[in-house]
């Protein structure tokens, strides 16, 4: 492990590899305890999370549902609940996966907010978009989608006196692979510190369908390139990112790509600049 690997893993509070199933089970219980304590600390009883059909939201969603069920059993208070939110932009190309995730999570409540009209309405009123190339405009509007989705989740949470769950984890955080004040905005991040392989392992342990646990990750924000794999954007595989974060040797090209991207996206992991 190099000094940079040690520094970055410590900054992201990376969880060591699961060498035994007991470690995996203990980590699941630790995450659930964290979620429940966040609700207690806030004096609230509702959790809100957007469900995309990817492994991250599937895993976080099932953990959230288990937590509110346990809180109801532990306290006798039936008002604890989890609201799963579908946030499609028009018709989602992998809607079947999203529905599979919803069926697995078995949330107390499901709400759907189609963000297409909001995104198009904002775009129509923004003159700065008119001079952009189609590719650049598509990228900018991809970030708008992420931010509108988070606005919708916070709107629901505000209306229902709840907390918004985020799905960021170490393998995304190191690459700055989230929209600032979009999917990077939330009240709690129960997957923080986990690498991608660990999120998949937790999903499997919780009983998620293999198709979802092993699904190729995609932010799916670009209309000109729907379903674009995260790894194409990273320029490095999740296996290499996971290995880097766990202090293992990776190729020089992968090492340089990860370190360079981590340094360039530092602002996304910090509070706004202040004098």
Quick one: tokens of 202?
């937790």
Check if the beta carbon of residue 235 is closer than 8 Å to that of residue 257.
yes
246 labelled ligand-binding: no
Q: Does the annotation count 135 as an active-site position?
A: no
Name every residue whose Cβ is closer than 8 Å to that of residue 118 and which is 6 or more positions away in sequence.
Answer: 148
Kindly list the strands in the beta sheet with 162-164, ordered across the sheet, starting from the edge strand earlier in the chain.
109-112, 81-86, 46-50, 162-164
Q: Does the annotation count 56 as an active-site position?
A: yes
218 labelled ligand-binding: yes
Active-site entry in 168, 172, 220, 230: 172
130 labelled ligand-binding: no
Active-site entry in 27, 56, 220, 240: 56
121 labelled ligand-binding: no
258 labelled ligand-binding: no
97 labelled ligand-binding: no
* Cα distance from N-terminal residue to C-terminal residue, the chain: 36
53 labelled ligand-binding: yes
180 labelled ligand-binding: yes
Long-range contacts, 212-219 (Cβ 8 Å, 24+): 212/53, 212/54, 212/55, 212/58, 212/97, 212/100, 212/101, 212/104, 213/55, 213/58, 214/55, 215/53, 215/54, 215/55, 215/97, 217/54, 217/55, 217/56, 218/54, 219/142, 219/146, 219/177
187 labelled ligand-binding: yes
207 labelled ligand-binding: no
Angle between helices 196-206 and 55-75 (to 10 degrees): 50
52 labelled ligand-binding: yes
- Considering Cα of 55, then 182, then 127, then 265, what sign does the dihedral take? negative
220 labelled ligand-binding: no
54 labelled ligand-binding: yes
103 labelled ligand-binding: no
Strand (E) or helix (H) holding 73: helix 55-75
172 labelled ligand-binding: yes
Rounded Cα distance between 6 and 17, Å, is: 15
Catalytically active residues, by annotation: 56, 172
Annotation: binding site for deamido-NAD(+): 147, 180, 187, 267-268
Residue list for the binding site for Mg(2+): 56, 172
Q: Which residue positions form the known binding site?
A: 50-57, 147, 167, 172, 180, 187, 196, 218, 267-268
Residue numbers belonging to the annotated binding site for ATP: 50-57, 167, 196, 218
């Amino acid at each position: 492990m190099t000094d940079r690997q040690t520094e970055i893993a410590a900054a992201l509070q990376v969880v060591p590899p699961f060498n035994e199933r007991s470690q995996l089970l203990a980590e699941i219980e630790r995450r659930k305890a964290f979620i429940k304590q966040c609700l207690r600390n806030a004096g609230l009883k509702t959790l809100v999370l957007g469900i995309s059909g990817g492994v991250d939201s599937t895993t976080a969603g099932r953990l959230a549902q288990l937590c509110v069920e346990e809180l109801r059993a532990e306290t006798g208070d039936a008002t604890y609940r989890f609201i799963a939110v579908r946030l499609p932009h028009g018709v989602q190309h992998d809607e079947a996966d999203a529905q599979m995730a919803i069926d697995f999570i078995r949330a107390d409540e499901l709400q759907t907010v189609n963000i297409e009209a909001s995104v198009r309405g904002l775009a129509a009123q923004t003159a700065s978009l008119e001079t952009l190339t189609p590719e650049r405009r598509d990228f900018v509007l991809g970030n708008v989608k992420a931010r509108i989705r988070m606005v919708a989740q916070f709107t629901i949470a505000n209306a229902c006196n709840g907390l918004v769950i985020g799905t960021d984890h170490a393998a995304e955080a190191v690459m700055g692979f989230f929209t600032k004040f979009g999917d990077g905005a939330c009240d709690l991040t129960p997957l923080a510190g986990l690498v991608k392989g660990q999120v998949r392992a937790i999903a499997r342990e919780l009983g998620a369908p293999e198709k979802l646990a092993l699904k190729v990750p995609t932010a799916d924000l670009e209309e000109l390139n729907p379903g674009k794999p995260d790894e194409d954007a990273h320029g490095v595989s999740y296996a290499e990112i996971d290995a880097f974060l766990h202090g293992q040797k990776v190729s020089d090209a992968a090492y340089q790509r990860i370190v360079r991207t981590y340094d360039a996206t530092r602002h996304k992991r910090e509070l706004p600049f202040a004098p």
